Amino acid sequence: MHSLIRAQAASTPGAVAVTAGGEALTYAQLVLRASRLARRLIAAGAGPDRFVGVTVDRSADSVVAVLGVLMSGAAYVPMAADLPEDRIGMIVSDAAMRVVTGVEGRAAKASGAIFVSVGGLSEAAEDMDREDVTVLPDLHGGSAAYAIFTSGSTGRPKGVVISHASAVGSTLARFAHYPEPVVYVMLAPLTIDAAVAGMYFTFAAGGRLVVPDGEEIRDPQLLADLLVEQRAGHLDGLPSQYAALLRFHPKALAGLKCVILGGEALPYDLARRHIAEVPGVELHNEYGPTESTVWATSHHCTAEDSGPQVPIGRAVAGLRAQVLTDGLQPAPAGAVGEVYLSGPGLACGYLGRPGLTSERFVADPDPAHPGERMYRTGDLGHIDEAGELVYHGRTDDLVKVRGFRVELGEVESRLLEHPEVLDVAVVPYTGVTGIRLVAVTVLAPRSTLGSRELSDFAAGRLPPYMLPTGWRRLDVLPVAPSGKVDRLSLQAEATTVGTALLV
């Protein structure tokens, strides 16, 4: 993957590669700093077939750290700089990390691994020493490039391992779907795979990656100002993030070439509003789990889309998408079934979890593709008359919150670690800013636990995006005729059921 970026540095060394945190790095500076970091990492024990943690924020140093790990021959594992210590311990253990780099702070210290600083790499950045970029290890396509840890239903996150071949293939496939990026504004944090798409697509095209800071991400006015100031051509984010921009600052979007939305369902009304307000700007609805290397399908929204749902599109190069029945047979035309993905663009599997890997990655029974791996997405969908996939929800309790995958069972299992929580069900509800979580609890008799105490307890065990924003109390959780917790009734009354837990 890093060879694409090094090629750009050789051809356009003075072009700006990344703007973040008030700092701008040229391609020459980015590659020089990353190669110097790679040497430090190798000296600390990094190398092929090893995983190096990268504690990240929204800074240029975080981009340098990711690229430095790739240049060292190791695979990177991005971790938010403010991730709870408990979760860091799980990730470090599963990835057998001995080296961590990136942003210094609590997360880096909590890893217990050797920390390699990104500081002091910028001296003589204009001096593109030949040795600095040529003595690093060569890698084959099957080598691991990165592992992204997503929520796990057992209460423990799971690492999805992606090879260099899959990462390169996924990146090059974007050129067939989207205009080449010149200035690409990436709203996704570096901890999720949407950032993989933003970084490598931009760098492979020789464009400039713009990473907004936290305040700009939260404030539509500041984000709109950034788009205009940076003369952005591409914007990549969540539908809920884009909705506020389109509603309040449509003029700031007029200079864009392309808007790519994913990580949440794209409302049909939002797509129609985009076409009416900024008809000259392409709008794409992108879909794909981490296990398919960032994306799997994409739909170009047009005025001909009839609704009521926006399709998630056709399979991208390197993948096949099909809708199958429980017996792994093609679902009848227009019928809803489970979405299966296959092809060389799939992930290697789950880090240190062979059982889970064999459960989710199964053999294709189609004689035209004998033995080819298929990934069971757990997503439901159907193929419409135009031959495009339309999404219909999940077969399990996984939801997307601000673009992050959240297994409700993981949140529940961590809350049950509190001695006064006897039972709990976490359910999603859709608010004005997208999907949020409500925890419906059964507490011990005479318990005086409040929402603030439970929030603080959860915050020590879960990342911010997995924390419930609403807390309710019942004497007993409702049960459906099946004998299981009646999640549908809880979800329907998420903000009114039981008694609200007070601060």
CATH, residue 436: 3.30.300.30
Kind plus residue range of the DSSP H or E element containing 218: helix 214-218
| Dist CA 273 CA 269 (whole Å) | 6
Residue that finishes a domain, picked among 145, 167, 189: 167
Burial of residue 471 (number of CB atoms within 10 Å: 0-12, 13-18, 19+):
buried
The dihedral built from the CA positions of residue 479, 484, 489 and 495, taken in this order, carries a sign that is: positive
Is residue 464 situated within a structural domain? yes
Number of structural domains, the chain? Answer: 2
Tokens of 502: 């007070």
The residue written with tokens 């691991």 in the block is 144
Neighbours of 395 (CB within 10 A): 13
Q: How far is CA 60 from the centre of its chain?
A: 19
Residue that finishes a domain, picked among 113, 145, 167: 167
Is residue 372 situated within a structural domain? no
What pLDDT is attached to residue 131?
A: 43
Residue that finishes a domain, picked among 117, 144, 167: 167
Q: Which domain holds residue 58?
A: 2-12+26-167
| Dist CA 339 CA 337 (whole Å) | 7
Kind plus residue range of the DSSP H or E element containing 314: strand 314-315
| Dist CA 493 CA 451 (whole Å) | 18
CATH of the domain at 39: 3.40.50.980
Is residue 428 situated within a structural domain? yes
What pLDDT is attached to residue 128?
A: 45
Is residue 134 situated within a structural domain? yes
Neighbours of 97 (CB within 10 A): 22
By residue count, the chain amounts to 503
What pLDDT is attached to residue 134?
A: 39
Is residue 220 situated within a structural domain? no
Is residue 305 situated within a structural domain? no
Is residue 284 situated within a structural domain? no
The residue written with tokens 């040795």 in the block is 131
pTM score, two decimals? Answer: 0.88
What pLDDT is attached to residue 123?
A: 54
Mean pLDDT, contiguous 10-residue spans, the chain (503 residues): 78 95 94 94 94 96 96 96 89 95 85 89 53 58 93 84 96 96 96 94 97 95 97 96 94 97 93 96 97 97 92 95 93 92 95 95 89 93 94 86 88 91 91 85 91 93 92 89 81 85 71
Compute CA distances 493 → 388, 404, 425, 502, whole Å: 34, 24, 13, 18
Is residue 152 situated within a structural domain? yes
Among residues 278, 216, 258, which one has the least CA distance to residue 241?
216
21 close to 60: Cβ distance less than 8 angstroms: yes
